[in-house]
Every structure is written in C-alpha cells, then in structure tokens.
C-alpha cells in the first residue's frame, strides 16, 4: 500500500453507524480495523481537525487553530516524501487562509456556483433555497442571524459561492483528478452533508417544512427555548437521512478505486471530526461540551494488507497519522506527539475545549481557543472525567453510557478522582508550556517542508497537477 485516502464526515456521531443508515461503512468493520472507542480531539471542526492533521493538542501553542509552525501537517510531510497531495474540503473553517491548504498541490476550500457547471440544478437550488429560507425566515429573529455559522454560509450565497458542495459533486471532482494521477498520493475528502442545516436531497418533506424544522432548532440554540418533541424527532430524522446520503458517497468513492485498479494499493481512513448533540445534555449542535455524543466518533482503517480486527480500547485522533505512518513505514516528525495506537498500551485519551476567540477572523484570519477557559475530558478504561475551570464530572461509561449519573460528588470514588485530577494538572501544564516562542522546529522538518510553505492556488485552472 502506498496511497492514503482520508475521508472525514462532518458531525457524524458514532451511534449513527448502523446497518440501516450506513450500510457501506458498517460492512467495512469486517474488512479492516474498526475502532469501537475512537475519540476526536475536540467537539467542533477547527480544533479537532488541526489536532488530527498535526498530531498535536488543540490547546497547544496558545490555542492557535491555524496550521503553521510549529504545527506540521500530514500533507507537508507526505509532499516532502514524494506524494502528490489533494484536498477537497469546502468548509469555512478548513479554508486555506487558516493554513489547512499547507502542503497540498490541489486544495479546494470554496468554489463559485458558476464553476460547477455540471452540478445538478435541483440539488444546488434546494441547498441554497433552504439556507436562504432559514436565514431570511420571519421565524428567524434578527439576533439569531448573527450566528456565525449561518452568516458564513449565507455570505457564500451572496457572493455567488455554494454554501457547501454535496458529496456526490465532490466525488465527481475527485474522480476527474484521479484519472491522470501519479502515485503515490494523499487524498483528503471532507463531506459536509451531515452538518446543520440538515437539507436532504431526497425527502417527502417540503422545503418550507425542512426550513421550519431547522429554524426551530436554531431558535433554541440562540435563546434556550424549549423545543417540541416532534420537532426534535424530525431533526433526528433529517440528520439520519443525510447520514444515509453520505454513506452512499463514501461507498461510491471507495468502489471507484476498485474500478480504476487503485484499491489494493491504497489505505483508507474513514472518520468524523466530531459528533452532534440532539438534546442529550440540554442542547444542540457541537459547542463547548465534551460528552459522548460529541467526541465519540467512528473510525475505520482499511487496506489490502490489514487484517480485520475490532479494537475496543480507547484511541485518539492524535495517534491517527502516527499509526498510518508506522503501517506504511514513513518516519514521523519529532513535532508529532501521537503514538501508534495499535502499540500504545496506556490508552489514556484527552479531548479539549476552550472559549472561542475569532478576533479578526475575517481580516487577519485568526481563530484560537482561550486556555484560561479550558475544558478537558480524560478517558481511561471505562472511566471518563470532565474538568472545567470551576467544575468536574466523573462517569463510568460501562454502567452509564449516556453520562446521566455524575459520580464526582461521591466520596466512594475519591481515589479515582484524585488520579484524574493529577492527569488533568499534568496535561494542562503540557499544553500551556507548548508555545511557539519556546518551540524550535527540528532540523529534519525544516529540511523536509520549509520549501512548501506557500499559498495554495484555488480553482480548476490553477490546480492542475
């Protein structure tokens, strides 16, 4: 195996994986490594993906969520190893202005609607139509229109850009590039279909109804109003329909590799950046919480020489690419702190949150987590500890998988709490002391990637290999 394909699915919960809604992904557990307890590094895209691609914790380096030194991305290393590198993300937070395009020969993070001449008019109009209805709806209070995610999507529409590109259209673009692709290559595809707003391309619900259901969810998000259980069930239904759609896109892409004879020479990684909450802990979306519905994610690794195995130990995205590099015999950079998850016996997992600071995100393109408001989840065996600046929680996931019984106030678990408090203190000190000013980039990494530190061109015309 030489080629590497990373498929990330936005907001896909682990418990959404099922024979009914993800038949293709579910079948893969019999064809490779299936991880039952994989965890993302945070509960939203920027910190989770930054940590995954650079094998670092999000709160390191002042919580700066851009990919730049001393964070070294997998694409930069693979490019220096002779790999062609392609990325198809189309996500506002995965834009090249935040450094996610570093190391990529081809990187699509946004695209004008006019550039996708072959895109289905029906799918394009439905996506744009529902988002405009949600944003402009009389049900949408003016204050809510300032919600940054909706504002970013709406701004794309106003600027004649697609709010996001459906997975089947991404696959078409990927296939066009693969026709003349030289090996080895690293391909990253990020499907945004399962992210809010949930707009099924095929549904018996009207556009008005789909818009209303999404609006009601956002009204709760902004104002904390109660939500009708029927609306909640409809939201879950729309989400699962989108999950079924994206499963088809994953299957289509993987099967295409079989059609063109590249399947046996490729290792595939399928995972999500984080999950999604549907009121399990009093809210929606994926913000400032570290419960299972948000950080427990699917993870499957398949390849011609990988034996089928179900792994039940806790594992982290921070160890994902160190593991892939070990499998393929590629040396990992010293700057990566992750280990081979197949050999790591400790299985202590950390996931992090912090108050978001966008600063002048639309001017100087900075996004960071404020470590002074850090929240950290620590998992070991069946135990999970969540610590904020002024709170702590303890759960036994084996007996309480829904995290409904907080044991932190129970003196019976004092020794366990003390052990987790020590782990928390040590981890917080580790991320606090990792600052750009104190970090010296290793000579090997400088030699391998410094020449690739340049902006990535956008658009079909500028991205020919």
Give the whole-angstrom CA distance, residue 370 versus residue 390: 15
Name the pLDDT band for 225 (thresholds 50, 70, 90): low
Give the whole-angstrom CA distance, residue 58 versus residue 15: 25
Which of 295, 318, 304, 308 lies closest to 397 in space, CA to CA? 295
User: For position 456, what pLDDT does the model report?
Assistant: 39
In this structure, CATH architecture of domain 3-345: 3-Layer(aba) Sandwich (3.40)
Name the pLDDT band for 220 (thresholds 50, 70, 90): low
Give the whole-angstrom CA distance, residue 73 versus residue 60: 15
Give the whole-angstrom CA distance, residue 377 versus residue 388: 9
Q: In sequence order, what are the residues at sequence separation of 6 or more whose Cβ sits closer than 8 angstroms to the Cβ of residue 203?
A: 210, 238, 241
Q: Is 362 helix (H, G, I), strand (E, B) or coil?
A: coil
| pLDDT surpassing 80 at residue 157 | no
User: For position 93, what pLDDT does the model report?
Assistant: 84
Name the pLDDT band for 63 (thresholds 50, 70, 90): confident
CB-facing half-sphere around the CA of 418: CA atoms within 13 A: 5
Higher pLDDT, 162 or 265: 265
| pLDDT surpassing 60 at residue 187 | yes
Question: Percent of the chain at pLDDT above 90?
Answer: 55
Q: Crossing angle of helices 207-223/229-259, nearest 10°?
A: 110
| pLDDT surpassing 70 at residue 154 | no
Q: Is 4 helix (H, G, I), strand (E, B) or coil?
A: strand
User: For position 123, what pLDDT does the model report?
Assistant: 52
Higher pLDDT, 206 or 351: 351
When pLDDT is averaged across residues 250-279 and rounded to a whole number, the result is 96
Name the pLDDT band for 172 (thresholds 50, 70, 90): very high
When pLDDT is averaged across residues 221-241 and rounded to a whole number, the result is 78
Give the whole-angstrom CA distance, residue 48 versus residue 69: 17
CB-facing half-sphere around the CA of 453: CA atoms within 13 A: 13
Q: How far is CA 1 from the centre of its chain?
A: 25
DSSP per-residue codes, 204-270? SS-HHHHHHHHHHHHHHHHH-----HHHHHHHHHHHHHHHHHHHHHHHHHHHHHHHTT-GGGEEEEE
Which of 421, 320, 406 lies closest to 73 in space, CA to CA? 320
3-12, 179-188, 397-406, 444-453: least confident range: 444-453
Q: Is 61 left (phi over 0), alpha (psi -120 to 50) or beta?
A: left
For tokens 């989840």, what's the residue? 377
The answer to whether the peptide bond before residue 28 is cis (omega within 30 degrees of 0) is no
Boundaries of every domain in the chain: 3-345
Strand order in the sheet with 392-396: 349-357, 368-380, 383-387, 392-396
* C-alpha distances in Å from residue 440, one per residue of 333, 335, 423, 437: 13, 9, 26, 8
Q: Which tens digit of pLDDT belongs to each residue from 275-315? A: 999 888 776 766 679 999 999 999 999 998 899 999 999 99
Secondary structure element (H or E) that encloses residue 354, with its range: strand 349-357
Give the whole-angstrom CA distance, residue 81 versus residue 414: 50
Higher pLDDT, 43 or 134: 43
When pLDDT is averaged across residues 228-233 and rounded to a whole number, the result is 82
Name the pLDDT band for 354 (thresholds 50, 70, 90): confident
Q: Kindly state the tokens that stand for 330.
A: 């590629």
Give the whole-angstrom CA distance, residue 138 versus residue 54: 43
User: For position 457, what pLDDT does the model report?
Assistant: 33
Q: Is 339 helix (H, G, I), strand (E, B) or coil?
A: coil
Q: Kindly state the tokens that stand for 350.
A: 């950390």
The answer to whether the peptide bond before residue 70 is cis (omega within 30 degrees of 0) is yes
Most confident of 118-127, 143-152, 387-396: 387-396
Give the whole-angstrom CA distance, residue 395 versus residue 405: 7
Q: Are 96 and 109 in contact (CB under 8 A)?
A: yes
Q: How far is CA 100 from the centre of its chain?
A: 13
Name the pLDDT band for 373 (thresholds 50, 70, 90): confident
Most confident of 47-56, 134-143, 147-156, 199-208: 47-56
Q: Kindly state the tokens that stand for 333.
A: 């950079």
Higher pLDDT, 196 or 263: 263
């Amino acid at each position: 195996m030489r080629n590497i394909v990373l498929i990330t699915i936005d907001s896909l919960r682990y418990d959404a994986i099922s024979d009914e809604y993800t038949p293709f992904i579910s079948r893969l557990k019999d064809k490779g490594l299936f991880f039952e307890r994989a965890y993302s590094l945070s509960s939203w895209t920027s910190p989770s993906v930054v940590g995954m691609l650079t094998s670092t914790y999000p709160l390191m380096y002042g919580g700066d969520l851009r990919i730049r030194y001393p964070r070294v991305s997998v694409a930069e290393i693979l490019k220096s190893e002779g790999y062609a590198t392609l990325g198809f993300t189309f996500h506002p937070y995965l834009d090249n202005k935040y450094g996610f395009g570093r190391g990529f020969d081809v990187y699509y993070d946004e695209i004008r609607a006019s550039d996708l001449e072959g895109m289905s008019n029906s799918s394009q109009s439905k996506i744009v139509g529902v988002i405009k209805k949600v944003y402009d709806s009389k049900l949408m209070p003016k204050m809510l229109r300032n919600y940054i995610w909706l504002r970013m999507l709406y701004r794309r529409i106003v600027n004649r850009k697609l709010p996001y590109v459906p997975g089947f259209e991404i696959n078409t673009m990927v296939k066009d590039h693969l026709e003349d692709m030289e090996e080895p290559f690293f391909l990253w595809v990020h499907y945004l279909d399962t992210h809010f707003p949930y707009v099924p391309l095929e549904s018996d619900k009207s556009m008005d109804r789909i818009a209303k259901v999404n609006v009601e969810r956002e009204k709760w998000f902004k104002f904390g109003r109660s939500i009708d259980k029927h609306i909640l069930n409809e939201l879950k239904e729309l989400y699962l329909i989108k999950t079924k759609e994206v499963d088809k896109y994953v299957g289509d892409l993987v099967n295409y590799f079989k059609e063109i004879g590249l399947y046996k020479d490729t290792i595939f990684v399928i995972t999500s950046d984080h999950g999604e909450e549907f009121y399990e802990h009093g809210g929606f979306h994926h913000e400032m919480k570290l419960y299972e519905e948000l950080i427990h994610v699917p993870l499957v690794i398949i390849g011609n020489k990988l034996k089928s195995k179900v792994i039940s130990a806790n594992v982290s995205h921070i160890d994902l690419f160190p593991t892939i590099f070990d499998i393929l015999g590629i040396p990992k950079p010293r700057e990566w702190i992750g280990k081979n998850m197949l050999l790591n016996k400790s299985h202590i997992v950390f996931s992090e949150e912090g108050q978001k600071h966008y600063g002048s995100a639309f001017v100087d393109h900075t996004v960071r987590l404020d470590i002074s408001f850090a929240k950290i989840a620590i998992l070991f065996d069946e135990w999970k500890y969540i610590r904020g600046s002024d709170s702590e929680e303890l759960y036994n996931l084996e007996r309480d998988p829904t995290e409904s019984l907080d044991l932190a106030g129970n003196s019976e678990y004092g020794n366990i709490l003390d052990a987790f408090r020590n782990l928390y203190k040590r981890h917080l000190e580790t991320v606090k002391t990792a600052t750009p000013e104190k970090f010296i980039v290793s000579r090997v990494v400088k030699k391998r990637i410094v020449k690739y530190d340049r902006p990535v061109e956008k658009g079909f015309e500028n991205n020919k290999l």
